[in-house]
Amino acid sequence: MRSEQETTRRPRSASGPVAVRGLWSRLVSGTVWLAVSVVVVAGLAAALTVWIEPPVPVPEHTGLFGAATLTTVLTGLAAHRSGSRTVAATLFAALASGAAVLGDWLWLVAGVVALTAFVSAVLAVVATRPARRVTGVVAEYVVAVVLAMVGAIGAAAYQAPVRAMLLTDLVSVAAVAATLWLAYRLGGGVHGLGKRGGAVLVGALVVIIVGVAYSEALRRWGSPVVVDTIADLTGMIRDLFGALPPPLEVLIGFPALVWGLATRAQLRQGWWVCAFGVLATAGVTTTLAATDIDITQYLLETGYAAGIGLLLGLLLWRVDLLATGQGRQGRRARRAERAQPMRPEPSRTRPLM
């Protein structure tokens, strides 16, 4: 009888410390992430003093210190989410941004601006979670856009004299390379690219190459009449709507992000599609720092691009469902499919790998 009682009591006594350790771990983790959120909000508020005059007087370099704070925290978050060395990346960002603020090296300030835009563009994509319903996809889409805008404010708060085209191209290429590397590891290698990823890869490359080649040809050999006509047309659109959304973000970046968020819910190959969403987030993070537009025009431009891109992405998702036969299922079949568990991914606060 004693042995039976001891046997039945052991699981209870053993589960006690395990439950306590689990509760303590969750409490510590929640406290850490709350502190990180507070630091991000404080850094964002300090960086915004570059454009918005605060109700109370603040030190002269408050915006710069807010930008350095955002650079440090966003770099650490991007490294943590991608499974890299979080401590080393955070220390590097802290030292670089601190030296950029305290020193007088324009090349270092420009490099920190590019670093801030790069890590923000990558973080905006990798911080999302897969979603199967339209409401979930839209919610994750908003998370990505907001994170990219936070990084954009941090990058622009340095007020560095950077070359607009060079910064955008550099950040876009680096961010695409980083996210494709993550997609390679998360999506099962190149053989796991699939039809969706292959179509997006080919389409994105074609549009990028054609767009860059056409822009360069127009700049070099375009007739003055054509150049002036395009300039007048873009100026008229800006005067009418207040901003002109970038075509690369509207046609590739944002639709790929929406499609990838939905595809990741069922297939890990959806990461290949989602990776091209960084073309949109990279544009969002560099526009404010690389141009002389004010923050109101920037918000309009980002809002137009995100809104049109969202509609195109949802339409593309619907076409994909119809092409694969899922969109022609009955209401009961779709309800049964939604009831199935989604493909598991780590929570938003944990590394992806």
Q: Each residue of 202-226: pLDDT tens digit?
A: 776 776 677 666 666 666 666 676 6
| 90-99, Cβ contacts within 8 angstroms, sequence gap of 24 or more | 93/119, 94/68, 96/71, 97/67, 97/68, 97/71, 97/72, 98/68
Is residue 97 within 8 Å of 68, Cβ to Cβ?
Answer: yes
CA 80, 75, 94, 61 dihedral sign is: negative
pLDDT at 11: 47
Take residue 141 and report the two structure tokens written for it. Answer: 């889409």
Least confident of 126-130, 231-235, 310-314: 231-235
* Domain boundaries along the sequence of the chain: 15-327+335-339
pLDDT at 333: 47
Say whether pLDDT at 3 is over 70: no
CA atoms within 13 A on the CB side of 252: 25
pLDDT at 319: 85
Nearest to 249 by CA among 279, 209, 288: 279
Is residue 176 within 8 Å of 276, Cβ to Cβ?
Answer: yes
Q: What share of the chain is helix, strand, coil (3-state, %, to 5)?
A: 80, 0, 20
pLDDT at 24: 80
138-149 pLDDT tens trace: 999 999 999 999
pTM, entire model:
0.84
326-344 pLDDT tens trace: 655 555 544 544 445 567 7
Higher pLDDT, 58 or 287: 287
- Rg of the chain over Cα atoms, rounded to whole angstroms, equals 23
Higher pLDDT, 92 or 184: 92
Higher pLDDT, 59 or 7: 59
